[in-house]
Structure 1
Amino acid sequence: MRVKVNTIAQARTKKGWTQEHLANVAGISARTVQRAETIGSLSAETAQAICAVLDLDLGEIAETSADTRQEINLPIGLILIAIVLGFGVGLMVGLWAR
């Protein structure tokens, strides 16, 4: 699941905890905490473990679709242009190789 990286980091620092301490208390690896605070990708079970030790609700850290505007969504027109250009180049190379 996608989580809000800033919310987890802020709640952790508010308690005065390091990433390593949070990992130990939540029963997860320090690398998982780093991934949560940088990439924002966690399993639902790990997100629940973090929420439990940081006194947060899952809804507070879960990223909603409105929060994910940073994802790249190419318009269908650009995809079609790329396909047509790729086909055209392939056709030209095939004719040239004859």
Structure 2
Amino acid sequence: MTLTLNLSPELEQYLEQEASQHGLSVEAVALQLLTNSILLKQEQTGAVKLLQSWIDDEDAEEQQETGQYLIHALDDDRLSERKLFPSELKGISW
């Protein structure tokens, strides 16, 4: 596909500079930048879908178990005897 673009002088200068630095044509640099941008967008979309699938996971029991495990692991791994999540403050501060 052939595409004709009207570029600002700044963008044109940038493309020419990049092409010169890499020994490529302006068209090759523009195509490379466009391709990289599309690939990045596709990767981001995939990551967002994966994160959303984790959010949508409705296994509340597993989430509760994971939360309890994290609370105990954080309390057990402290150098201090003071707990981060004391049971007497459950529902008040955490």
Fold match by TM threshold 0.5: no
Give the TM interval when normalised to the shorter protein. under 0.3
Specify the structure having the higher radius of gyration (Cα).
Answer: 2
TM-score by length of 1: 0.25
Between 1 and 2, higher relative CO (CA 8 Å, sep ≥ 6) is seen in: 1
TM-score by length of 2: 0.25
